[in-house]
Amino acid sequence: MIELAYSRATDAADAIRRAEGGNAKYLGGGTNLVDLMRETVEVPSALVDVTGLSAEIGETDDGGLMIGAAARNTAVAEHPAVRARYPMLTRAIVAGASAQIRNMATVGGNLLQRTRCTYFYDTDGSRCNKRSPGEGCDAIEGFNRIHAILGTSPHCVATHPSDMCVALAALDAIVHLRGASGERTIALTDLYRLPEDHPDIETVLESGELITAVELPPSELAAHSTYRKVRDRASYAFALVSVAAALELDGDSVADVRLALGGVAPKPWRAWRAEEALRGSPATEESFLEAAEAELAEARPLAGNAFKVDLARRTLAAVLQTLTEGARR
């Protein structure tokens, strides 16, 4: 780590002022950024601590929830309104990392965590277009069991590692931003860019722009939701495949559905095609599998991760089956 300046912001406007000029980074819980600095993947000259900004979780006027970006992961997961009205979000958060890390990590930081691609971390030994644009990618021909099958490019196959964001993508979460030119909101699904020919640019955030809150719109559907994560060990591992799903039945058919996939793409992957295929379809395993196939039709597996296509297909169908059985009880 190189020497750096540290300061603590008192509010969002103060944070933005402090981050102006130079190569400053906003610091939340540090669970990803401190590690990346130690590995010299990130080399900021200044850190602006934003953990003192709003961590409040409160009701919105239209019956949703507003979550301050400094809220810790544990605080979101244990909040009674999240547990009751957005259970997939609690399930997703407690499926991620360890309790110690969830106690530290903030919501804003979770949204902006970097990929866990091992080649991205290997500054001395590997080429990486995300770390050093134009250098090449050693993952595409390398050990790519953990890498993406959807939304990849010839330049990058890294996945977004978050569990929480997969649920947020399915919940139509809105990200509140503040920058030098003012405030704006953006759908979480639009926050992230696919790698294309610039895998180093991961979001649509402008320079110095700060995430101040994440808003959950009201959703009756979300009360009937869950999250399933498939990983190499029972706990404390990143997802090979994960599914966030909410389902509402009308008799024996699907009235409405929200679906997102984790562990398979460079961003939290909202499964729009599968949702479209399912609305009005019979709530049967057959149509769940067909919908998953529609979503995965454009999957481009690598030598080491072809198993993810079938795993994602079956996990998606299994989660929908579980929700269907739950709705009929």
The minimum distance between CB 7 and another protein, in angstroms, equals 9
Q: Backbone phi, then psi, for 47, in 5-degree steps?
A: -115, 130
**Which of 30/304 has CB closer to another protein?**
30
The minimum distance between CB 80 and another protein, in angstroms, equals 8
Q: Which two tokens stand for residue 129?
A: 């277009």
**Is residue 16 classed exposed, middle or buried when 0-12, 13-18 and 19+ CB atoms within 10 A define those classes?**
buried
**Which of 89/158 has CB closer to another protein?**
89
The minimum distance between CB 90 and another protein, in angstroms, equals 6
**Which of 234/297 has CB closer to another protein?**
234
Positions that interact with another protein (CB under 8 A) = 1, 3-6, 27, 29-31, 34-35, 37-38, 47, 49, 51, 74, 77-78, 83-84, 87, 90-91, 94-95, 97-101, 103-104, 234-236
Cβ within 8 Å of residue 91, ≥6 positions away: 167, 226, 227
**Which of 189/226 has CB closer to another protein?**
226
The minimum distance between CB 315 and another protein, in angstroms, equals 16
Give the C-alpha separation, 241 to 308, whole Å.
7
Cross-strand pairs, 178: 183, 210
**Which of 86/192 has CB closer to another protein?**
86
Give the C-alpha separation, 305 to 285, whole Å.
24
Neighbours of 98 (CB within 10 A): 10
Local structure of residue 227 (DSSP, 8 states): E
Three-state DSSP class for residue 183 = strand
The minimum distance between CB 329 and another protein, in angstroms, equals 13
